[in-house]
Amino acid sequence: MRQLYDHQHAAIDLLRASLKTGHTRPMLMAPTGFGKTLTAAQIIRNALNKGKKVAFTVPSISLIDQTVEEFGAEGITEIGVMQADHPLTDHTKPVQVCSVQSLVKRQFPWVDLVLNDEAHEMHKVIFRWMAERQSIPFIGLSATPWSKGLGRHYDDLLIAATTKDLIERGYLSKFRVFAPAHPDLKGVHTVGGDYHEGELAAAMDKPQLVADVVSTWMRIGENRPTFCFAVNRAHARSLEAEFQHAGITTGYIDAFTEREDRNKIGQAFNAGRIKVVVNVGVLTRGIDWDVRCLILARPTKSEKLFVQIVGRALRTAAGKEDALILDHSDTTLKLGFVTDIHHEHLDTGKPEEGSSTRPQSKQKLPTECPAAGCSYVKPAGVHKCPACGFEPVLRKAVDTVDGELHQLGGKGRSYTQAEKQRFWSGLLWYVQQRGKSEGWASHTYKDRFGVWPRGLSARPMEPDVFCRNYVKAKAIAFAKGMEKRERANAA
């Protein structure tokens, strides 16, 4: 069994204190990387040691076996499963792992404690269970317990750590965000608090926008293992096709992808055989793949969805300096960084309850440095840019270019002299083997690093993937620019 971290001990202490003071429906916030399974396993062990029976609910059938395996790894093996005719069905076991779908059709198990995973999804059957068994504690678990009306069912929000806390302590990865020019979402209506999916897909699934996603990744994605989040299946297929057309090995996953196929894609992704996995909202939970770059091609107004998506890239891993977020959706600029989004109370549906400290409601949004070539987004109230030192006297209008990404926050990645030399040598190979000019090589280097290639050796070397992708992306962008000008001249 693994040892608990300080924030996990704190969570259990908060939970114990909440129950002792009379709360019976506490909600434990466990951000991505918190170690929710380990914490839940300890809660279950504590209950079993007192002779109590426990139920653990999961929101989808696909999480049943994963949960059983994870609990087994923590020494909890006396488990029965409530899900169809699952081979582990055994109502006599002290721990019951239940799918929400099966609970709708069956009698609730007689237990002394219920842990409700992904409680922000607010399944009606769970609330019915709460009403029928008011004498037993129900503990909600969620990374984003901010759903409207959640406070009508749970009575105490327990916050042992936030995403910002976990990043500062090194349990989650630091991240850098880049953003394109704002997508045009005029005419896209809001339904249920988020964009209308069909209208949003029509706005985002356009050839130029799809191509920009791919060319941008090739230019600045650093060839990292990447998740790409699309609006719907048609949009995802368009992105998949564009990545494959550019020679990038790509996987595709949606809600209809069989578990066996999903596992094969995951194995290929972790082995580096697949570089990008395009998906439609199904890789937001229960995934611990080594994701080092994330493409958000699905605009959202939902804080919950935004934080869940970005969280996929924040897990730490060996050799991972940071996570790279390529936000083609304008969401970061509208909601702020995920570290800015935080709620102190459960939402009961009343205007004064469930207030958040997200930038648009309690704080000002960060501002982008207006200095040419910087594009660093400064925290609110910071006048002098921490990245370039620029102090604006009067804010001026900034022209934007379709498809160009600008860094939003955090320090830019520092490249070693060896990495710069490798890139420069690759460009010189193009000069020697492909007839490019030395001026082309110098300007391409300056486009990438912001400085001229001074002090580097003039030895050509076959370009690596990073250099090849960057050169290819620049060529695609140039061709598109020529095509656009030709259409304009023809008109």
What single letter denotes the amino acid at residue 193? G
Stretch 144-148: mean pLDDT, rounded?
A: 94
Which one has a higher pLDDT value, 411 or 389? 389
Stretch 192-219: mean pLDDT, rounded?
A: 93
On average, the pLDDT of the chain sits at 87
Stretch 136-156: mean pLDDT, rounded?
A: 96
Is 276 found in the same domain as 260? yes
Phi (first) and psi of residue 27, to 5 degrees = -115, 120
Is 284 found in the same domain as 325? yes
Could you tell me if residue 354 is inside a domain?
A: no
pLDDT at site 359: 42
Confidence bin at 354 (pLDDT 50/70/90): very low
Q: Are 127 and 114 in contact (CB under 8 A)?
A: no
Is 128 found in the same domain as 97? yes
Stretch 119-144: mean pLDDT, rounded?
A: 96
pLDDT at site 377: 56
Q: Which of 137, 162, 187 is the last residue of a domain?
A: 162
- C-alpha to C-alpha distance for 186 and 473, rounded to whole angstroms: 29
| Residue 107 token pair | 């009698």
Q: What is the CATH number of the domain that holds 122?
A: 3.40.50.300
Q: Are 192 and 447 in contact (CB under 8 A)?
A: no
Could you tell me if residue 261 is inside a domain?
A: yes
Tell me the three state secondary structure of residue 410. Answer: coil
Is 283 found in the same domain as 245? yes
Could you tell me if residue 472 is inside a domain?
A: yes
Q: For the chain, how many helices (H) and strands (E)?
A: 15, 18
Is 27 found in the same domain as 73? yes
Is 219 found in the same domain as 81? no
pLDDT at site 400: 43
- The pLDDT of residue 222 is above 50: yes
Could you tell me if residue 239 is inside a domain?
A: yes
Looking at 42-103, which runs of residues are DSSP E strands? 54-58, 79-82, 95-99
Is 424 found in the same domain as 404? no
pLDDT at site 398: 42
Helices (H), 252-292: 259-271
b/e string for 57-73 if b means 16 or more Cβ within 10 A? bbbbeebbebbbebbee
Could you tell me if residue 486 is inside a domain?
A: yes
Confidence bin at 477 (pLDDT 50/70/90): confident
- C-alpha to C-alpha distance for 111 and 139, rounded to whole angstroms: 13
Could you tell me if residue 199 is inside a domain?
A: yes
Place of tokens 């996990």: 8
Could you tell me if residue 476 is inside a domain?
A: yes
Long-range own/partner contacts, residues 234-241 (CB < 8 A, 24 or more apart): 234/201, 234/205, 235/201, 235/204, 235/205, 235/210, 235/280, 235/297, 235/298, 236/278, 236/279, 236/280, 238/205, 238/210, 239/210, 239/213, 239/214, 239/278, 239/297, 240/278
Is 68 found in the same domain as 11? yes
Which one has a higher pLDDT value, 76 or 407? 76
Structural domain count of the chain: 3
What is the enclosing helix (H) or strand (E) of 48? helix 36-49
Confidence bin at 357 (pLDDT 50/70/90): very low
Instruction: Give residue 422's domain range.
Output: 417-490
- C-alpha to C-alpha distance for 269 and 193, rounded to whole angstroms: 33
- The pLDDT of residue 173 is above 50: yes
Is 209 found in the same domain as 115? no
- C-alpha to C-alpha distance for 89 and 98, rounded to whole angstroms: 10
Tell me the three state secondary structure of residue 2. Answer: coil
Q: Are 340 and 193 in contact (CB under 8 A)?
A: no
- The pLDDT of residue 475 is above 90: no
Could you tell me if residue 359 is inside a domain?
A: no
- Reported as a single tens digit per residue, the pLDDT across 298-343 is 999 999 999 999 999 999 999 999 999 998 998 988 898 999 898 9
Q: Which of 141, 162, 183 is the last residue of a domain?
A: 162
Phi (first) and psi of residue 79, to 5 degrees = -120, 135
Confidence bin at 92 (pLDDT 50/70/90): very high
- Percent of the chain, pLDDT > 70? 87
Is 399 found in the same domain as 277? yes
Tell me the three state secondary structure of residue 187. Answer: coil
Is 324 found in the same domain as 179? yes
Is 395 found in the same domain as 274? yes
